Chain A
Amino acid sequence: MESHFATEAVANLRRRSLRGAALNLIGPLTMLGGVVWAFLQPYRLTFLHPNGQGFWWLLAEPPLYVVLVGLAFAVLIAPALIQDLEEAEDAAEG
């Protein structure tokens, strides 16, 4: 019986850590996507070669947008969400 409870507790912990880890990874993976894209297509970052670029070309930096979205998610959304997820799971476990 004890072993059954232990197995269940380990399974719960694993599920929790998986969801928490997945949430933690969304922001960094998005940022990584933007960085990889910047290396693959550096010409899409016009601030690296700004001579002769107009205002709109300098404003439009898609790989940088992707990095900023990932950063905003990691800083503004993920921490509170992970905290709420852990609290909810603690409450469910009693």
Chain B
Amino acid sequence: MLPRAEFVHWWFATGFLILGLLLLAEALVGEAVWRRRPWRVYLWPSFLFLMGVLMWPVMVFYTNSTIHMLAHGSWAQAMMLAGAAELGLARGKLHSPYWSLTTAGAFLVSAAAILLHEQNGWFYARAAFLHHALGWTFVIGAAFPLARAFKPSSAVVRTGFALVFVVTAVFLYSDRDAAPIFGHMSPLAGAQHR
């Protein structure tokens, strides 16, 4: 009855792609133009918050192990916190740009969650490879939200921030439950899919 894990990854990939495109557009036009219409200001922070909320059903229904439950749960909380802080900044309820550090924190929590709940090596199967790649992408990518707290108007920082989400979307779309990666696949990984 439940959708396969790879389907959930593809749905979240779509969410990350939407986030990435919105952030890329914001980086292109600059904050002043982006804020000209009030509804636009709330778009990506509310979407990030929503993705955090949607991680809860993932935690409940995909409890393969305790470590999976902890990883998905901590990820949900981190995404909701980052989304809420960005919403507060967008609304003007929060003033300090250092609140953006919650997004850097969410990146690092997400990275830890992805890396820690993947028990297999890089070339075990494609899903394992992508978990490692995603985890390290978020570790390195955390530099962008970190820099954004100190240089919020930098186009390079904003573009880098957006591209982390686009790369994440590409990785998640590439995921299959059991598929080879660069010709490698452990015989313990199960039957190969299409």
Interface residues of A (CB under 8 A from B): 19, 22-23, 26, 30, 43, 56, 59-60, 62, 65-66, 69-70, 72-73, 77-78, 80-81, 84-85, 87-88
Contact = CB atoms under 8 A, between A and B. Distances in A.
Q: Closest 8 interchain pairs by CB?
A: A56-B3, A84-B36, A60-B7, A65-B14, A62-B10, A88-B33, A85-B29, A84-B33
Interface stretch (B15-23, B104-112, B114-122): B15-23
A43 B3 CA distance: 18
A35 to B, nearest CB: 14
Interface residues of B, number: 24
Contacts of B14: 62, 65-66, 69
Contact of A26 (B4, B21, B32, B194): B21
A70 B21 CA distance: 9
User: Chain B interface mostly helix, strand, loop or mixed?
Assistant: helix
A66 B25 contact: no
Contacts of A88: 32-33, 36
B45 to A, nearest CB: 15
B22 A77 contact: yes
